[in-house]
Amino acid sequence: MEIQLQELIEQIKKDGVEAAEVQAEAILNSAKAEAEKIISDAQARADKLLQDAKSENEKMVKSSEDAIRQAGRNLLISFRESVAKELMSVVGESVSAVYSSDELAQLVANAVNSWTSSPGAEDVSVIMNSADLKRLEEVSLAGLKEKLHGGITLKANDNFDGGFRIAASGDGAYYDYSAEAVTNMLSNYLSPRVTALLKEAE
């Protein structure tokens, strides 16, 4: 009887140990699976964070490069505009200097002679601001009249600064030799050449 009881106890112990081992193995497997899932999820989150960071960094780099390119373009445009403005200022000063000198009478005479040499040109008016007209009359009107053909009229008009216009009576056509028109014409002529020089320097 004592032997049977001992065998029963041994069997119960054995069954208990086996059951405990199975349960422990199940717990261990579950823990391993959970750990692997946690690691996998963490890796996925880390990969996403890294990818997001790379993508954001690429956007920032591209944005910075675009901003630098745009700043460079703006600087170049500003520089070209500054050069064009300075060129126009220099040309304007040169034109004003010529128009405020005794050369104005010669310019007027040459322009009128060219105008009146064409067939049918008559009743021509030379228009200039009153200050230039007064100076022209004081300095060289006698010599100018000798150079001009008959039918030439000198008129004052203060709607423009410096220079002169030559107009044919009746048809409304005129040649504009005002300081502003000549400055614009010379600046427009010179600007493409200056721009080409700037491009060569890039």
Q: Give one DSSP letter per residue of the chain, joined into a string.
A: -HHHHHHHHHHHHHHHHHHHHHHHHHHHHHHHHHHHHHHHHHHHHHHHHHHHHHHHHHHHHHHHHHHHHHHHHHHHHHHHHHHHHHHHHHHHHHHHHHHTSTHHHHHHHHHHHHHHTSTT--SEEEEE-HHHHHHHHHHHHHHHHHHSPTTEEEEE-TTSSSEEEEEETTT--EEEEEHHHHHHHHHHHHHHHHHHHHHHH-
**Among 181, 193, 128, CA closest to 155:** 128
Residue 193 pLDDT = 73
What would you report as the CA-atom Rg of the chain, rounded to the nearest whole angstrom?
48
Q: In which domain, by residue range, is 109 found?
A: 1-202
Token pair for 104: 């104005």
Q: How many CB atoms lie within 10 A of CB 121?
A: 15
- The tally of domains found in the chain comes to 1
pLDDT in tens, 113-168: 777 666 665 677 778 888 887 777 766 555 555 555 556 777 888 887 788 888 87
User: At 200, phi and psi to the nearest 5?
Assistant: -65, -30
Given a cut of 70, the residues of the chain with pLDDT beneath it are 1-17, 20, 116-122, 138-151, 169-172, 195, 197-202
Query: And the tokens for 69?
Result: 């390119």
Rounded to a whole number, what is the distance in angstroms from the first to the last CA of the chain? Answer: 111
Task: Say what the pTM is.
Answer: 0.51
Provide the CATH number for the domain around residue 144: 3.30.2320.30
Q: What is the pLDDT of residue 150?
A: 58
* Tokens at 51, concatenated: 């990818």
> Rounded to whole angstroms, how far apart are CA atoms 4 and 29?
37
